[in-house]
């Protein structure tokens, strides 16, 4: 249902107009706080690798280790966080993790200003930041359906993805500009302030959280620990999305790790140009988030998943075609990120909505954590793989190999999801 539509609910014999998503004040507060923090997050995603490459002079393998440190908590503590989030109120988790990330980024800015930042201190900061971000994301996807009615999930997820896409444009360009004109410390300080704003916004949400009584209190630790994995694995559509998500994120992180080295050392691009190219490339993600609802209604759920992921998988192959640092190189890089962002954003909106609809509220935290553990837990491995591959083969060849791996997985997924969603069945969503 589009936001422009107004349904009617019959109460006591009277027709009452149903609240639109834009009239949901708590969703607007939740969405607004997260949107601002996303901009800061993208700034740090650009700043931290560039600080590592330019200030610390790290090798591709070391850069892969830094990226892996930020992503490793998803793999190591994800299931524990999911079990915890399903056991406690989730809104305080959103507030607490936002405040903690604000403090951590302020500390990192101080280390940069005082010129005492080293490789291992950056690794430890990345590890702590990754742990807090993992807990926030698990709580976010578990809490989100409490504020947003099921009928508005596609529209709400589209808005969240729009914010993420806009953040990619604004944050990437701003991050590269701050690195060149001002300093990395200022970029990290701005990121810290965005998390403070997010914490205040989350604290103002008043919608009571949907809490379902858990039925696994007497289960063994192993069964409770693995509940989210069992929900995802038993549900065949979610299983296919889980496996594809893990492989895609493995390749994506390998690509991002190699791209930073490729852009700086082989193409000779400056930090502001890198940030600008990534930012302009993210316009594709903005377009995808705005078009997702219309595209899905036009071509149907199955095609939107297949074609969206296809665009995301083919896009990265444009990057290794670039030569030098002229305008044609910038056009290729921007086009690569545009194609990738457009397809991935559309795919993410429908895959996240599918998961929220198929998983019972009492298991949402554990299922979200399990999904992140498997899908996003592949990212640190991808970062290490990308760095090692670039060291052995060179950055350009590594990018070609990674692109081929993405396309191969997309072919397999396309066949599987077409068969599964053709029947439209739901196999189960309880632990």
| Average pLDDT of span 229-239 | 81
Per the CB < 8 A criterion, the answer to whether 86 and 366 are in contact is yes
CATH 3.30.450.40 fits 22-206+223-423, yes or no: no
Backbone angles phi, psi at 137, to 5 degrees: -65, -40
Q: Which residue has the higher pLDDT, 195 or 341?
A: 195
Q: What is the pLDDT of residue 199?
A: 93
Q: Which two tokens stand for residue 359?
A: 């998983």
Residue (of 78, 383, 81, 370) closest to 230 by Cα position = 370
Per the CB < 8 A criterion, the answer to whether 98 and 106 are in contact is no
Q: What is the pLDDT of residue 222?
A: 65
Q: What is the pLDDT of residue 17?
A: 39
Report the distance separating Cα 263 and Cα 114, nearest Å.
28
Q: What is the pLDDT of residue 219?
A: 57
Residue (of 171, 88, 130, 99) closest to 365 by Cα position = 88
Q: Which residue has the higher pLDDT, 250 or 334?
A: 250
Report the distance separating Cα 209 and Cα 254, nearest Å.
38
Per the CB < 8 A criterion, the answer to whether 121 and 58 are in contact is no
pTM of the model: 0.62
- The residue ranges of every structural domain in the chain are 22-206+223-423
| Average pLDDT of span 366-379 | 76
Can you count the helices (H) and strands (E) in the chain?
16, 2
Report the distance separating Cα 89 and Cα 362, nearest Å.
12
For residue 150, pLDDT over 90 is answered with no
For residue 122, pLDDT over 90 is answered with no
Tell me the per-residue pLDDT of 395-423, one tens digit each, with 9 for 90 and over.
889 999 999 999 999 999 988 888 888 64
- List, as own/partner pairs, every contact residues 125-131 make where C-beta atoms lie below 8 angstroms and the sequence separation is at least 24, other chains included: 126/48, 126/66, 126/67, 126/69, 126/70, 127/69, 127/70, 127/72, 127/73, 128/104, 129/44, 129/70, 129/101, 129/104, 129/105, 130/69, 130/70, 130/71, 130/72, 130/73, 130/74, 131/73, 131/77
Q: What is the pLDDT of residue 75?
A: 65
């Amino acid at each position: 249902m589009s936001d422009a539509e107004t349904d009617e609910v019959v109460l006591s014999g009277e027709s009452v107009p149903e609240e639109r998503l834009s009239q949901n004040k708590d969703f607007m507060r939740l969405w607004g706080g997260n949107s601002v923090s996303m901009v800061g997050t993208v700034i740090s995603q650009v700043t931290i690798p560039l600080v590592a490459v330019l200030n610390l002079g790290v090798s591709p393998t070391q850069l892969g280790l830094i990226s892996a440190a930020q992503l490793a908590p998803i793999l190591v503590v994800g299931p524990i966080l999911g079990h915890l989030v399903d056991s406690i109120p989730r809104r305080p988790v959103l507030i607490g993790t936002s405040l903690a990330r604000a403090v951590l980024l302020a500390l990192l800015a101080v280390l940069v200003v005082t010129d005492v930042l080293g490789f291992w201190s950056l690794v430890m900061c990345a590890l702590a930041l990754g742990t807090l971000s993992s807990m926030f994301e698990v709580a976010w996807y578990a809490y989100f359906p409490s504020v947003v009615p099921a009928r508005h999930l596609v529209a709400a997820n589209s808005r969240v993805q729009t914010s993420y896409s806009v953040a990619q444009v604004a944050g990437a360009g701003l991050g590269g500009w701050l690195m060149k004109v001002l300093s990395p410390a200022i970029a990290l300080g701005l990121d810290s302030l965005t998390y403070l704003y997010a914490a205040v916004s989350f604290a103002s949400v008043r919608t009571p959280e949907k809490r379902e009584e858990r039925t696994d209190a007497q289960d063994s630790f192993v069964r409770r620990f693995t509940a989210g994995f069992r929900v995802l694995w038993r549900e065949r559509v979610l299983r296919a999305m889980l496996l594809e998500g893990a492989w895609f994120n493995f390749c994506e992180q390998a690509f991002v790790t190699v791209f930073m080295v490729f852009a700086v050392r082989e193409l000779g691009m400056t930090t502001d140009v890198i940030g600008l190219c990534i930012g302009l490339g993210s316009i594709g993600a903005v377009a995808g988030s705005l078009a997702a609802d219309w595209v899905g209604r036009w071509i149907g759920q199955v095609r939107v998943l297949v074609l969206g992921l296809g665009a995301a998988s083919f896009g990265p192959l444009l990057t290794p075609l670039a030569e030098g640092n002229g305008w044609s190189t910038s056009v290729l890089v921007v086009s690569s990120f545009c194609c990738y962002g457009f397809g991935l954003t559309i795919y993410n909106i429908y895959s996240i909505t599918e998961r929220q609809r198929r998983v019972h509220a009492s298991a949402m935290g554990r299922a979200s954590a399990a999904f992140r553990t498997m899908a996003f837990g592949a990212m640190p491995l991808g970062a290490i793989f990308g760095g090692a591959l670039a060291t052995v083969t060179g950055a350009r060849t590594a990018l070609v190999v990674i692109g081929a791996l993405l396309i191969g997985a997309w072919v397999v997924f396309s066949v599987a999801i077409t068969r599964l969603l053709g029947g439209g069945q739901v196999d189960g969503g309880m632990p």
